[in-house]
Structure formats: C-alpha cells, structure tokens
Amino acid sequence: MKNGKTLFNLACCLAFSVVLLAFSCTGSVDAVSDDDGGDPPIDCEGFWEIEPNDSEEDANYVALLPDLQPTNLCGTFFDYEPNDQHLDYYYFFLNPRPGVDVVMLNIALTTKDDVVPAIRLLQSVYDDQGNTVGYNSLGMFFGELGELVILGFPVPYHFLDNNDLFLRVEGIYPSDYIEKTYKLQYWNF
C-alpha cells in the first residue's frame, strides 16, 4: 500500500511539473513600439542598492575601509512626488592599520548629463554608552553634468568615536518622474 501511494505522489508531482513547464514556455514577445522609453540606463556592474536605504538606519553595508578591492555601487534616483527627494545611504566600517587616524577617500559618481549628483559624507555620534545619538556631517559635494569626483578626502578615524562612514547619494534634476541610474566608484590610498 505504501509503494502505491508513493508512486501516486510521484506521478502527481511529475504531472504538475510538466503542466507548469508547458505554461511557462508559451510566452510571447511583445511587438516593438515606437516609444523610445527614455535614455538607456548607465552600464553598471557591481553592488546594486537594496531598498529601503533611505536613511542612516537602513543604509546598505558595503565594506571595510580601506578596501583593497573596491566594487562599484549602482543605484537609481527617482522623484516620487513633487518636492520629494530620493536619498540612498551606504555604510562603511573604518578599519585602517594601527596608528592611522585618517582614511583618504576617493569617489567618482557618474549618471545622466541632466542630473546634478550630490554626496554628503556622515559619521555617527555616540553617547557615553556607545549608542548612536546623531550624525556629524563631514562635507557635502555637488557635481555637474552627470559627474561628481572627490579626490583625497580625509575621513577621521578613531576606534571608539569615528569608526564608520555613511554616504548619502542624491540627484537633482528636472522632475520628469523618470528613474535615473548612477554608478559610484570608491577607492582608498
């Protein structure tokens, strides 16, 4: 009796799989439309942002800095409603060699020509118990014509007080409600 039930279950699973495969292979290709769909996205291979990452608490962790083999960070700008900004936060933990109190940071961000990219660098502020009570702005940078380059920016490091770095990435552009992609590269020396 047990072998009969097992064979019946196996046959049902096989039949279901065949039906599922048959339905998944019957898709059709849509006709080509005259709508150009806007500009193609920026070609970006690397770490794609994971939403939500719109605040320091939801920041995407990226890597330890300094990083000997950094990767690209890829993301999108999008204005959801008038006067509403879309911010992307990325988080790095600082871990330089012993005795080093500054990590030199380089950033290059590329996007569409009609976007003014902006990056704010932040570090956590801690209370006496080690709880985060706020964020200290290290600087705000604006690019032009779809590019922003920051070279040799000194990020302070102390193993208790200055041990992290947040990047807040945003794009300023005409509110056309079209998603704009960006590629952010970072490296250290």
Instruction: Give the pLDDT score at 28.
Output: 45
Instruction: Give the pLDDT score at 33.
Output: 45
Instruction: Give the pLDDT score at 57.
Output: 95
Instruction: Give the pLDDT score at 30.
Output: 46
Q: Is the CATH number 3.40.50.300 carried by domain 45-188?
A: no
Q: Calculate the alpha carbon distances from 147 to 49, 170, 188 in Å.
A: 19, 12, 19
Delimit the domains of the chain by residue range.
45-188
Give the pLDDT confidence of 58-74 residue by residue, as tens digits: 999 999 999 878 889 99
Spatial contact of 49 and 179, defined as CB atoms under 8 Å apart: no
Mean pLDDT over 119-144 rounds to 96
